[in-house]
């Protein structure tokens, strides 16, 4: 009997893992109430917030994409302007070189002309000086010859006739080139 009593007592004892039926019903009702309350109030607000956030992120992504495309366009424009500026700089440098070469040629030509003019003036001055010295020499030779002739002959000769004879002789010597007629 004792065994039977113990077995009945054991059968009537509650399973510690399973809750009571009343607790299951109250817990299920509370879960259903909280679920419907969340479905009516929290989930729509969360869905709306998530939709707004998604739209905002999508808008920012589109804005970032358009900004990137605009930045690419600006970069392309900048590069083309830079290439144009380099081309313009090269053109200006080449133009400066051409101008400098032309200026150098002009200065060189002017210097050559001035040098030729200076040489021509110097040659003209040399000729004029040579002619002047030749005239002075002619006059001195004539005077010396008249004086010598006057001493040799012992009398004074007609100076104009004597100068004429000396000039004729000097012209004859000058025209023959080497002093022999």
Tokens of 95: 């133009």
State how far the alpha carbon of 115 is from the alpha carbons of 67, 129, 161, 180, in Å.
Answer: 70, 21, 47, 39
Tens of each residue's pLDDT in the chain, 181 residues? 556 655 655 556 677 788 888 888 999 999 999 999 999 998 999 999 999 999 999 999 999 999 999 999 999 999 999 888 889 899 999 999 999 999 999 999 999 999 999 999 999 989 998 888 888 877 777 777 766 666 566 555 677 777 777 788 788 877 876 544 4
Domain ranges of the chain: 19-176
Long-range contacts of 141-145 (CB under 8 A, 24+ apart): 141/166, 141/170, 142/166, 142/167
Tokens of 19: 């809750």
166 and 135 in contact (C-beta within 8 Å)? no
**Closest C-alpha to 138, from 166, 176, 179:** 166
pTM of the model: 0.39
């Amino acid at each position: 009997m004792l065994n039977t009593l113990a077995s009945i007592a054991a059968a009537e004892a509650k399973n510690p893992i399973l809750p009571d039926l009343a607790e299951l019903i109250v817990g299920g009702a509370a879960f259903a109430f909280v679920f419907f309350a969340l479905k009516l109030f929290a989930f729509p607000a969360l869905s709306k917030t998530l939709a707004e956030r998604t739209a905002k992120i999508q808008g920012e992504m589109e804005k970032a994409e358009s900004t990137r495309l605009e930045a690419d366009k600006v970069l392309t424009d900048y590069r083309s302007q830079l290439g144009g500026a380099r081309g313009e700089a090269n053109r200006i440098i080449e133009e400066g070189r051409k101008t400098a070469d032309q200026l150098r040629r002009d200065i060189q030509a002017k210097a050559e002309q001035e040098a030729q003019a200076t040489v021509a003036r110097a040659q003209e001055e040399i000729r004029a000086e040579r002619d002047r010295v030749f005239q002075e020499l002619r006059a001195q030779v004539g005077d010396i010859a008249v004086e010598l002739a006057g001493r040799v002959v012992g009398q004074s000769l007609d100076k104009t006739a004597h100068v004429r004879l000396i000039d004729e002789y000097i012209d004859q010597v000058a025209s023959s080139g080497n002093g022999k007629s």
